[in-house]
Chain A
Amino acid sequence: MTLGELLSLRGLGWADVLALWGHFTLLSLLAVGGAITTAPDMQRWLVGQQGWMTDAQFTTGVAIAQAAPGPNILFVAVMGWQVAGVAGVVATMLGIMGPSSLLALAVGRFGQRRAESIPMRAFTAGLTPLTLGLLLSTGWVLTAPTRAEWAAWALVLGTVMVSVRSRLSPMWMIAAGALAGALWLR
């Protein structure tokens, strides 16, 4: 891969890159319960509205990030990479990390002792059900490319059962999924 390929915007304009940054900046403050809860909105915007990637590319990006070491938030970098190369990575990562990081630093310095106060408890308690709903939506969105295949449904259900009932590392489940997929999801 040449430097030119790395730096190319893959057909997007700088206004698109700015829009990418703007959308991920908005999602940053909505990412209650982790960045993965914003995946349905990323998919709605990137795949549905802008048409910059396909359902298969989207789910593949999340799968690659989960299979690799490091925080799961890196699926956001893969989205940016697929959409607009290096500029896309900078736009999506700065967007999704910026506002939430500044807030974390501010709260870490000034608000830590307020974690048990009524407003903070109401904040957490009121948003936990939403996190649950958003996680279910994320699961639904990620099954989009394989919803017609019984083997994929078996993998989804099997993963849910194993990870709820055991402490097996997700790494092994992803590896088993890769093997099963190579055999039955071609």
Chain B
Amino acid sequence: MPDTGGTPDEPPLRRPASCGDVFRVFNRLALQGFGGVLPVAHRELVERERWLSPEQFVELLTLGQVLPGPNIVNIALIIGDRHFGWRGAAAACGGLLVVPMFIVLALATVYQQFAGNALVVGALRGMGAVAAGLVVATAVKLARTLRSNPLGQPASLMLAAATALMVGALRWPMAGVVLGLGGLGMALAWHRIRQQETAR
């Protein structure tokens, strides 16, 4: 499947040579990704290694977003699995996570040694505030896409506000909220998409 993409002007797509190759490439892209790996993934997988055409990358990204779990991990699993089965999936996932995990845990341990230092505590509090801002910014960017959501903007915004209220402010368990409001959202979306399809 990965060899079929590309127009005649573009160089042909390549395949990873081995599971080691898969591990190496995903490890390299993970280590370049500060605050998110997806932009790096596009550069490495599409432009540099040419394992995927731009269209295939977008398809995988959509799929990764529909599925629960981290997009980049889902994409890595599917690419690895396509080339080398479950071994490839494990190699891709391992490449993405193993080395960065040691770095993160080392940082967390080093931080514990300096937890009494006011400068370090202040720096981490500042980084925490920026982390909060980055998450809220993702929400703002996502809000723009609601215009084209089949639910329509008013219903979408009400569902978003209700979720924030129940999970963020009232601190209800997430499972019930996602099943309840998510079920409602999906049923409504299904109904609206069917309406649009028949109207066409």
Binding site for B on A (CB under 8 A): 1, 26-36, 38, 40-41, 44, 48, 56, 59-74, 77-78, 81-82, 89, 93, 96-97, 99-101, 103-105, 107-109, 112, 115, 118-143, 145-146, 149, 151-153, 155-160, 163-164, 169-171, 173-174, 176-186
Interface residues of B in 97-113 (CB under 8 A from A): 97, 99-101, 103-105, 107-109, 111
Instruction: Please determine whether A169 and B137 come into contact, CB atoms closer than 8 angstroms.
Output: no
Q: Which residue of B lies closest to A102 (CB)?
A: B77
A177/B140 contact (C-beta < 8 A), A30-B175, A130-B181 known: no
Known: A66-B134, A67-B127, A146-B129. 18 other contacts (CB 8 A): A30-B178, A31-B69, A32-B68, A33-B142, A77-B105, A97-B73, A101-B69, A104-B74, A125-B189, A129-B155, A129-B159, A130-B178, A132-B142, A138-B168, A139-B132, A140-B168, A142-B135, A145-B128
Q: Which residue of A lies closest to B151 (CB)?
A: A125
Tally of chain B residues near chain A (CB < 8 A): 105
Q: Which of A41, A119, A153, A182 has the most CB of B within 10 A?
A: A182
Task: Please name 27 pairs of A and B residues whose Cβ atoms are closer than 8 Å in the assembled complex, sorted by A.
Answer: A33-B65, A36-B135, A41-B175, A60-B128, A65-B104, A67-B34, A103-B67, A122-B190, A126-B189, A129-B157, A132-B146, A133-B160, A133-B162, A133-B164, A134-B174, A135-B135, A135-B136, A137-B167, A137-B169, A142-B132, A169-B34, A171-B34, A179-B123, A181-B123, A184-B122, A184-B126, A186-B122
Q: A135–B142 Cα gap in the complex (Å)?
A: 10
Q: Which of B103, B111, B156, B174 contacts A60 (CB 8 A)?
A: B111
Q: A31–B78 Cα gap in the complex (Å)?
A: 18
Q: Which residues of A sit under 8 angstroms from B70, Cβ to Cβ?
A: 31, 34-35, 71-73, 100
Is residue B45 contacting chain A, with contact meaning CB distance below 8 A? no
In the assembled complex, the CB of B169 is this many whole angstroms from the nearest CB of chain A, namely 8
4 smallest A-B Cβ distances: which pairs? A181-B126, A70-B100, A159-B133, A133-B163
- Is chain B's interface secondary structure helix, strand, loop, or mixed overall? helix
In the assembled complex, the CB of A121 is this many whole angstroms from the nearest CB of chain B, namely 6
Q: A33–B66 Cα gap in the complex (Å)?
A: 8
Q: Which residue of B lies closest to A155 (CB)?
A: B129
A132/B160 contact (C-beta < 8 A), A63-B131, A68-B107, A160-B140 known: yes
Is residue B145 contacting chain A, with contact meaning CB distance below 8 A? yes
Q: Which residue of B lies closest to A96 (CB)?
A: B69
Binary CB contact string for chain B from 16 to 37 against chain A (1 if under 8 A, 0 otherwise): 0000000000000011111111
Q: Which residues of B sit under 8 angstroms from A71, Cβ to Cβ?
A: 30, 33, 37, 70, 72-73, 96-97, 100
In the assembled complex, the CB of B81 is this many whole angstroms from the nearest CB of chain A, namely 6
Instruction: Please determine whether B137 and A128 come into contact, CB atoms closer than 8 angstroms.
Output: no
Q: Which of B82, B105, B133, B142 contacts A78 (CB 8 A)?
A: B105
Q: Which of B120, B161, B178 has the most CB of A within 10 A?
A: B178
Q: Total contacts A to B, CB within 8 angstroms? A: 388
A119/B101 contact (C-beta < 8 A), A128-B145, A136-B168 known: no
Instruction: Please determine whether A177 and B126 come into contact, CB atoms closer than 8 angstroms.
Output: yes
Q: Which residues of A sit under 8 angstroms from B186, Cβ to Cβ?
A: 122-123, 125-127
